């Protein structure tokens, strides 16, 4: 047991410090991807709800395709495809040889593109729950489209979307483990390195899992707090 905690010490022989910074990397790449996904998801939901036929079909195709393809393939596409693109652009400017793109950028982009497809569905569902009468009422008192969005639509969509968005954040967090295949030193990659050098894979993958659980648990509570906060003005059925 003492030996087990020795593996995790923060001293020069322990892996504690590297694991904590790797956990930070996991959260950073998942968060960047997730926020990119929110932007993509918002645009897709808007295209689906307000756009013309071409926009609707495009948005629908995007969500269907991205939700039907394994995330690992998307990670490979962005990592190798991104590097290929950058190499070609660099070659046009006279550079020779291979130019790789940072694994962090490729990873965050892959997470963002996938989670955008899922977030679009959540936003669309949340938008559906708006009462048309409220939007008409807003228009009738002369609100501009932007004001209507800020005061009437956005607050309610956010409130209805939060539980679904929380689930998608948990997905993005777990998906970030796939980015270890590109060599980005996040939690799983760091555990692989530690497991390889100490020959203790069981302990280190167990620890990696435990840290993922802790992050998931903290974020779950954060989302519960946010849900409570955004629901302040809502009277619950039967809670008179």
Partner 1 sequence: MDFAFIGQTFLQLLGGIPLTLKLAAVAFLIASVLAVLIAIIRTRKIPVLDQIAGFYVFVLRGTPLLVQIFLIYYGLGQFRPTLQSLGLWQFLRDPYWCSILALALNSSAYASEILRGGLRSVPVREIETARAYGMSGLRLYRRIILPIAIRRALPGYGNELILMVKATSLTSTITLMEVTGIAAKLISESYRPVEVFIAAGVIYLAINFILTRVIALLDWWLTPHLRRPRIVAAKLEPAHA
Shortest Cβ 47–partner 1 spacing (Å): 21
Q: Look up residue 195 and give its two tokens.
A: 């497991």
CB of 238 to partner 1, least distance (A): 19
Identify whether the C-beta of residue 15 lies closer than 8 Å to the C-beta of residue 196: no
Give the footprint of partner 1 on this chain (CB under 8 A). Answer: 64-65, 68-73, 76-77, 79-81, 84, 170, 174-178, 180-181, 188, 191-192, 195, 199-203, 205-206, 208-209, 212-213, 216-217
Least Cβ distance, residue 86 to partner 1 (angstroms):
13
Query: In the complex with partner 1, which residue's Cβ is closer, 73 or 137?
Result: 73
Q: Where are the alpha helices (DSSP H) in the chain?
A: 2-7, 16-50, 53-68, 71-76, 82-92, 103-128, 132-140, 145-148, 154-175, 187-198, 201-230
- In the complex with partner 1, the residue whose CB is nearer, 77 or 158, is 77
Q: How far apart are CA 205 and CA 194, in angstroms?
A: 9
- The distance of closest approach from Cβ of residue 65 to partner 1 in the complex, given in angstroms and rounded to an integer, is 6
Q: Which long-range contacts (CB under 8 A, 24 or more apart) does 46-50 make?
A: 48/120, 48/124, 49/124, 49/127
Q: Which is nearer to partner 1, 217 or 225 (CB)?
A: 217
148 or 172: CB nearest partner 1: 172
Whether the Cβ atoms of residue 75 and residue 182 lie closer than 8 Å to each other: yes
DSSP 3-state assignment of 142?
coil
* Closest approach of partner 1 to the CB of residue 79, in Å: 8
Residue closer to partner 1 (CB basis): 63 or 156: 63
């Amino acid at each position: 047991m003492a030996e087990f905690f020795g593996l995790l010490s923060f001293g020069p022989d322990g892996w504690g410090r590297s694991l904590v910074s790797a956990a930070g990397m996991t959260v950073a790449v998942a968060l960047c991807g997730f926020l990119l996904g929110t932007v993509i998801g918002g645009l897709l939901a808007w295209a689906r709800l307000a756009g013309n036929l071409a926009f609707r079909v495009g948005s629908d195709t995007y969500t269907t395709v991205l939700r039907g393809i394994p995330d690992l393939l998307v990670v490979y596409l962005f990592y190798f495809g991104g590097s290929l693109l950058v190499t070609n652009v660099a070659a046009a400017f006279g550079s020779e040889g291979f130019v790789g793109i940072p694994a962090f950028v490729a990873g965050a982009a892959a997470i963002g593109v996938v989670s955008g497809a899922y977030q679009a569905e959540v936003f669309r569902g949340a938008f559906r729950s708006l009462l048309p009468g409220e939007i008409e009422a807003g228009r009738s008192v002369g609100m501009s489209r932007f004001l209507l969005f800020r005061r009437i639509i956005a607050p309610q969509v956010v409130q209805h979307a939060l539980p679904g968005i929380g689930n998608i954040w948990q997905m993005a967090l777990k998906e970030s483990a796939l980015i270890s295949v590109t060599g980005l030193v996040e939690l799983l990659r760091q555990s692989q390195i530690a497991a390889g050098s100490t020959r203790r894979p069981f302990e280190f993958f167990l620890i990696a899992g435990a840290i993922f659980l802790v992050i998931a648990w903290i974020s779950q509570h954060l989302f519960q707090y946010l849900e409570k906060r955004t629901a302040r003005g809502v009277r619950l059925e039967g809670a008179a």
